[in-house]
Structure 1
Amino acid sequence: MQKVQIGVCGFVVALLLAGPTLGQDVNQTVINCDRYAASNNDLATTAGRAGVRFKDLDTEKAKTACEAAYAANPDIARLAFQLARVEVKLGNYERARTLLEEALAKGYTLAAVELGLLYDTGRGVEADLKKALELYQLAADAGWGVAYSNIGDLYRLGLGVEKDEARALELYNQAIAKGNEAALGRKALMLAGAHQEGDDPRPVVSALLEAAIRGEAVGSAELGLAYLNGRFGLPVDPVAASVHLKRGFDAGDNFGGLYFAIIEMARWDGHFERAEQLRRALQSIVDSEDHENRGPALALLGQFGLITGLNRSQVTDLIERAAQLSPDHHIVLNSRANLLVANGDLAGADALLEKAALAQPDWAPYYARRSIIQLRLGNAEKSKELETQANNARDGQYLLQFIGG
């Protein structure tokens, strides 16, 4: 169920304190750039500071600091890299590419990872997976774990190379050995996706737990989904599911945030503070640059508005905006269906839920909601058929108890 885009872990930088020959003012400009633009993937940040995740990068502060540091210290190659990181966040891909090429030419091999990402995703250049792989390999040869992880993504998904999950697993293990925690989530996700009924679930659970214990976003969210749906021999445990989905979301996985919201909405008890916390979490996804999950987050905001008594015109606006962004997403289709039910259009709601179930055929709640609608439409036989499908569906069984007529 989990989806991950290639290369989300592509910003890594080896931060060094300014040399003793630099003056105090220059030292401070370098430290400021390090403070605001150091990657969270860095293993040696200045003065022991944790790096900043790309999604949390404050472009205004980082650009000001890194422009000054770069101008004053043209021989420190990593500053060109850090400034490029800011330019990527701002969408200034041409300048980012120029800065990355400069950093790489000066021997800063980590620039090859971010430069590879530009070719990988076609940002500011024509997409070229062969070129991306060459650049990732250059950084991997220099010992950077994130490069191994990105190459692993290519083999896992069969992008630019023949799909080879065994090779991907090998590369993820190499990345993990180099200290790249994001590879923990990639490994867990791959093992979970390859797991078949009857397979030994222990390798999957072990990988999920290792990722979650280390606070890795994707692995935490995937573990939360496993607890929600009782997968890989784990029990259905909505409390554990909610905790791990929230941890995944807090660590940067917006997909986990969507399913955390779905659980919390289902069991909302009217507590105002919890409602506000949930709205803020969903709004943060809407306000992010995560185009894949913004539409579903808007839809869930609208759906929660129906539950909490938000003005109907505001609810409609949220769900219509969601439909413009992600018209075929199953979460958006479900929220549109709920709005139609509230407006008395049962047939229209049933048609949307049918599309949602086709998009997510293992999700029990969609069949259960259709069963109720069909009963209200007078189609008892169809309602019973859908009820059976709901009871037989693999995922979302816990949520059926909250679905009523």
Structure 2
Amino acid sequence: MVQISIRRLVGSAALSLLLFSAAQAETQSVLDCDRYAASNNDPGTTAGRAGVRFKDLDPEKAKPACEAAYRENPDMGRLAFQLARTEVKLQNHVRAKTLLEEAVSKGYMLAAVELGLVYDVGRGLPADLNKAAELYKQAADDGWAVGMSNLGDLYRLGLGVEQDLQKALELYEQSIARGHTSALGRKAMALAELYKEGDDPKPLVAALVEAASRNDGIGSADLGYAYLNGQYGLPVDPIAASVHLKRGYDLGEGWAGIYLALIEIARWDGDLQAADRLRQMLDTMAEGTDNELRAQALALKGQLGLLVGTPKAEVADLIDRASALLPDDAIVLDSRAALMAAEGKFSEADALLEKASENAEDWAPYFARRSVIQQKLGNATRSEELKTLAGNAAEGQYFLQFIDP
């Protein structure tokens, strides 16, 4: 009897150890998947960490880890979602969509946000903003802060829903209250669009400052732009503008780098090391995937080239490449006008600047440069008219001091 009992105890212990080992292995697979692919928008993953931003996701590590976790835990919707993130990164959009739909069906509603993005931007299928809004709302109703923020974007822009800035503002505030700091800059954007002359600018400025202080790219970039143009009661401050634009650029707002480059080009004092640093930043933007930023970066490289003495044939090539991407962009037109003026082709330069000012009618420098060109062409009256237009333009006044009369 004693021997039988001992055998039973030994057998029971072995079975328990086997079950424990299996559970431990299963837990480890989940931890590995969380480590490499958990969303930074989900604070409740088993990894107990902030998660992985999509731009930082490494599919070579994440995919095998999440394939194993998904296979061993077929009922966990979060793992289907995290595997879907790796498939999106690998541009396997059909499988990603299937996995996201599975995750939503299993109740993991953060996946509804990612699925909403599929329809929002048209990943592997035609864009459907109504469907995107529906999915973002499902996630928002389930308490996901990023769903509230994304739905707020659609209300702010009037995409897939009727435009409603107040509704957008409410959604951003709800998102922020749940800890989603990325909505801070979007809240400031909504306040800026609601702002009108005569309003108290303090709430808007406070929102911009808070967003920038929390390392929000949108808030930093918009605050820099406000300092550049003296908006919302702020002074024109090119130093503060440069600091915040640089931070916004570093945090992913590429357009902030364009305005930072405009400041650096305008006030360039002959420092070749500064010119080289600026050229490197423009090279980075020119190698990206956003055609607008690529075109503008190439065009500004051309403007910088004119300053530092780059052969005009090389400058022309840069501007031709920019024009091939975005021929009617105001910065591209302005850059070609600068090249034409450098070659003494003032009529051609004037025509280009006229088109640039039509495309960016609030930007003072284009009118000011036309004023100089018209003076060279002997049209003093028109030159004065354009000078007045430059002085009355809402944006870019800071740059007028650098444009020779």
Alpha-carbon distance between aligned partners in 2 of 1:183 and 1:111, rounded to the nearest angstrom:
19
**Residue of structure 2 in register with 1:306 after alignment:** 306
Query: Which residue pairs with 1:110 in the alignment?
Result: 110
1:231 equivalenced with 2:231 (yes/no): yes
Contact 2:59 2:89 in 1 (8 A): no
Q: Pick the structure with more helix per residue.
A: 2
Q: Is the 8 A contact 1:81 1:111 kept in 2?
A: yes
Describe the shift of the 1:231–1:116 C-alpha distance in structure 2 as closer, same or farther (beyond 3 A). Answer: same
- The verdict on how the C-alpha distance between 1:350 and 1:41 changes in structure 2, with shifts beyond 3 A counting, is farther
Report the alpha carbon displacement of residue 23 of structure 1 after superposing the two structures with TM.
2.9
- Superposed CA deviations along residues 380-401 of structure 1, whole A, max 9, x for unmatched, are 1111111111112121111111
For the Cα contact (< 8 Å) 1:32–1:65, is it kept in 2? no
* Matched-pair contact (CA < 8 Å) for 2:152–2:167: yes
Q: Paired residue for 1:21, among 12, 17, 23?
A: 23
1:73 alignment counterpart? 69
Residues 219, 248 of structure 2: 8 Å contact kept: yes
Residue 135 of structure 2 is aligned to residue 120 of structure 1? no
Q: Write the letter of the residue equivalent to 2:105.
A: A
Partner residue of 1:338?
338
The offset of 1:324, in angstroms, is 1.5
Query: Which residue does 2:379 correspond to in 1?
Result: 379
Cα 1:383/1:328, change in 2 over 3 Å: same
Same amino acid, percent of matched pairs: 59
Offset at residue 213 of structure 1 (A) = 0.9
TM-score normalised by length of structure 1: 0.87
Which protein is bigger by CA-based radius of gyration? 2
- Quote the residue 2:218 is aligned against: 218
Aligned partners of 2:156, 2:389: CA distance in 1, in Å?
A: 32
Task: Tell me: CA distance 1:123–1:361, structure 2 relative to 1, closer, same or farther (3 Å).
Answer: same
Aligned equivalents of 2:277, 2:43: Cα separation in 1:
33
The separation in 2 between residues aligned to 1:77 and 1:215, in whole angstroms, is 31
Q: Give the distance between the partners of 2:313 and 2:89, measured in 1 at CA.
A: 34
The aligned runs of 1:19-58 (5 Å cut-off) are 21-23=23-25, 27=28, 33-43=33-43, 50-54=50-54, 56-57=55-56
Structure-2 separation of matches of 1:298 and 1:50: 37
- Between 211-220 and 295-304, the greater mean CA deviation after superposition: 295-304
Secondary structure of 2:24's aligned partner: coil
Give the RMSD, CA atoms, in angstroms: 2.3
Q: Is the 8 A contact 1:337 1:350 kept in 2?
A: yes
Aligned equivalent of 1:63: 59
Cα deviation, residue 249, structure 1: 0.7
Distance 1:159-1:99 versus aligned 2 partners, 3 A rule: same
Ranges in structure 2 where 5+ consecutive residues have no aligned partner: 1-20
Distance 1:289-1:53 versus aligned 2 partners, 3 A rule:
farther
Match of 1:290 in 2: 290
Q: Decide whether aligned partners of structure 1 residues 311 and 97 sit closer, same or farther in structure 2, where only a CA change above 3 A counts.
A: farther
Aligned to 2:13: none
* Secondary structure, aligned partner of 2:338: helix
Separation in 2 of the partners of 1:136 and 1:358?
37
Deviations 1:194-217 (A, max 9, x none): 322111111211111111111111
Unaligned runs of 5+ in 1: 1-18
Aligned counterpart, 1:244: 244
- Cα gap change, 1:164/1:83 in structure 2, threshold over 3 Å: closer, same or farther? same
Corresponding residue for residue 10 of structure 1: none
Query: Is contact 2:364-2:390 (8 Å) kept?
Result: yes
Give 1:331's aligned amino acid.
Answer: I
Q: CA separation of 1:373/1:114 partners in 2, compared to 1, >3 Å: closer, same or farther?
A: same
Range that drifts further, 229-238 or 392-401: 392-401
Greater RCO structure (CA 8 Å; 6+ sep): 1
For the Cα contact (< 8 Å) 1:69–1:79, is it kept in 2?
no
CA separation in 2, counterparts of 1:319 and 1:79?
Answer: 47
Q: Which amino acid aligns with 1:350?
A: D
